[in-house]
């Protein structure tokens, strides 16, 4: 049984009259990697800033448990990387980490040891003596990660750590996070489902300041996947008209049609496929493709976000 490391209860944030985080509760288990997933404006940064201790909540509680007991001040146990970290371009990577280590309360000797170790761990050993101003986006983000980890926190909190990176930088940072998560509990926000799927085991989906869905990726996949048929028909009028009406069939519970394509949620994929093909033949409809399967997490995410 994994025990909770972070416990959040009824967390609220109001900016003037406006409530942007509306009483959310969740916990993050020790050793897990959790993604706070939601569209732009959902309240991710606000939530993360409260967890990191940078923003005062308007209500609710945040507890960090070390060896099962809540600590009075969680900040020393947290490593945090903001959405847009600020670096001094004139400093070298090494100088920056030494500085960050001392700010985090390490003694100079400890800071020097950790700096050397983290420069190596994030793949910046050779670039350590170069000025940050000359680093790529991915290198800066890896340096940011090293800074967040320099005091060996229990929980690493990251706000959209890969959103601003190009594909190569994204891959670099995600694989680094993959390695880090073996030792450190990680919570990161993202609006990209794919990033969450790549490295996380827990998902907290938020929408308009409220939790829309929470659970392990496996559980969510199993619980919410539905039989789905994706269809594409020819561009002729008869085929398009048939497709537009296909949602009315009794075995189709939901239909999304756009252009010559449709995604149909059905009760039984095999029977529905056979029925659709027979009906298409009878109506001389040209079927370009018919793919039977299960709805994906992406389908669910879009549904949650759009509802
Ligand atoms: N300091 C502030 N004052 C007033 N409103 C704010 C403040 N900070 C955030 N908001 C509002 O709170 C809501 C949630 O913002 P937040 O930045 O937490 O969302 P987000 O999910 O992180 O979005 P994004 O992915 O775009 O960063 C938004 O409507 C935003 O305009």
| Banded model confidence at residue 53, pLDDT cuts 50, 70, 90 | very high
Superfamily of domain 4-222: P-loop containing nucleotide triphosphate hydrolases (3.40.50.300)
Give the ipTM: 0.96
Question: Average pLDDT of 135-145?
Answer: 91
Looking at the chain, list the stretches that DSSP marks H as alpha helix, in order from N- to C-terminal side. Answer: 44-51, 93-103, 108-121, 137-149, 167-180, 193-199, 217-224, 237-245, 269-282, 297-306
Please report the atom of ligand 1 found closest to the CA of residue 83.
Answer: 27
What are the domain boundaries of the chain?
4-222, 225-306
- The pair phi, psi for residue 154, each rounded to 5°, is -80, -35
Nearest residue (CA) to ligand 1, atom 2: 15
Nearest residue (CA) to ligand 1, atom 8: 46
Q: Which CATH number fits domain 225-306: 3.40.50.150, 3.40.470.10, 3.30.70.100, 3.40.1080.10?
A: 3.30.70.100
Lowest mean pLDDT among 184-188, 204-208, 256-260, 293-297: 293-297
Nearest residue (CA) to ligand 1, atom 18: 43
Q: List, for residues 125-137, the tens digit of each pLDDT value.
A: 999 999 999 998 8
Length of the chain: 307
Please report the atom of ligand 1 found closest to the CA of residue 16.
Answer: 4
Please determine, for residue 62, whether its predicted confidence score (pLDDT) is greater than 80.
yes
Would you state the pLDDT for residue 180?
A: 86
Selection from 5, 9, 4, 53 nearest residue 211 by Cα: 9
Measure 291 CA to ligand 1 centroid, in angstroms: 40
Any atom of ligand 1 within 6 Å of the Cβ of 207:
no
Please report the atom of ligand 1 found closest to the CA of residue 43.
Answer: 18
Distance CA(218)–CA(236), nearest Å, equals 41
pTM of the predicted model, to two decimals?
Answer: 0.84
Q: List, for residues 85-137, the tens digit of each pLDDT value.
A: 889 999 999 999 999 999 999 999 999 999 999 999 888 999 999 999 999 88
Please determine, for residue 1, whether its predicted confidence score (pLDDT) is greater than 60.
no
């Amino acid at each position: 049984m994994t025990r909770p490391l972070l416990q959040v209860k009824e967390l609220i944030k109001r900016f003037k009259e406006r409530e942007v985080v509306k009483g959310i509760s969740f916990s993050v288990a020790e050793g897990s990697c959790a993604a706070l997933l939601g569209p732009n404006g959902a309240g991710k940064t606000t939530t993360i800033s409260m967890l990191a201790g940078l923003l005062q909540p308007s209500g609710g509680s945040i507890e960090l448990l070390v060896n099962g007991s809540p600590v009075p001040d969680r900040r020393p146990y947290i490593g945090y990387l903001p959405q847009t970290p600020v670096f001094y371009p004139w400093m070298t990577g090494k100088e920056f980490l030494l500085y960050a280590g001392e700010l985090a309360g390490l003694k100079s000797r400890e800071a020097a040891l950790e700096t050397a170790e983290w420069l190596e761990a994030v793949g910046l050993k050779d670039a350590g003596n170069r000025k940050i101003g000359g680093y790529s986006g991915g290198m800066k983000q890896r340096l940011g990660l090293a800074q967040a980890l320099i005091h060996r926190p229990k929980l690493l909190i990251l706000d959209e750590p890969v959103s601003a990176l190009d594909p190569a930088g994204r891959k670099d940072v995600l694989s680094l996070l993959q390695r880090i998560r073996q030792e450190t509990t990680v919570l990161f926000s993202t609006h990209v489902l794919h990033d969450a799927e790549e490295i996380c085991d827990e998902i907290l989906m938020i929408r308009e300041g409220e939790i829309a869905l929470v659970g392990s990726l496996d559980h969510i996949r199993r619980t919410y996947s539905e039989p789905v048929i994706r269809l594409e028909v020819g561009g002729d009028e008869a085929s398009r008209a048939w497709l537009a009406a296909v949602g009315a069939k009794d075995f189709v519970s939901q239909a999304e049609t756009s252009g010559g394509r449709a995604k149909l949620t059905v009760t039984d994929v095999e029977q529905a496929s056979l029925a659709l093909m027979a009906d298409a033949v009878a109506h001389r409809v040209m079927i370009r493709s018919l793919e039977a399967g299960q709805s994906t997490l992406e389908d669910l995410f879009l549904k949650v976000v759009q509802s």
